[in-house]
Amino acid sequence: MVAEGRRKHKKIEFVEGDAERLPFPDNHFDAVAISFGLRNVNEPKVALAEMYRVLKPGGRVLILEFSAVRSALLKPLYDFHSFRVLPRLGAFIADDADSYRYLAESIRKHPDQATLKAMLESAGFGAIDVRNLTGGIVAIHRGYRL
């Protein structure tokens, strides 16, 4: 994906690095964003502390991630799709049911909205808000380095 990004966007510098050891100086960025990646980090609390470190005062963090479904009607349908349909589609289309099973399992292990908000607070972020999308299947967490 990085190679494709470099090919398409010549004016953007792409840097590969470890989210738990960001290769940037303190107080460097106005914003940090991560989408569907925090649940794949070994130590999310360490990654959040790194995001805080590299942000300038007043900078914001945006986290788009799968989260806990809030709708009692949607939850059983979502679970059925995640654990029964998605792995079968993965097996049929990509010959890889295990990766799609992992996806569903990793989403369920990821902290819910309130827990991730508390983790952001523990990392030092303030003025945190959470916006649920699609009934909480996905949530956007936003916080600021005050």
Q: Where are the domains of the chain?
A: 1-65+110-146, 68-109
Token code pair at residue 88:
């079968």
Token code pair at residue 91:
């097996």
> Could you report the per-residue pLDDT of 4-48, keeping only the tens digit for each?
999 999 999 988 899 999 999 999 999 999 999 999 999 999 999
pLDDT value of position 88 = 93
- 3-state SS class at 130: strand
Cβ atoms of residues 114 and 68 within 8 Å: no
Q: Rounded distance, CA 58 to CA 6, Å?
A: 29
Is the dihedral angle over the CA atoms 26, 28, 33, 36 positive or is it negative? negative
Quickly state the pLDDT bin for 103 (edges 50, 70, 90): confident
- 3-state SS class at 95: coil
Q: Which CATH architecture has domain 1-65+110-146?
A: 3-Layer(aba) Sandwich (3.40)
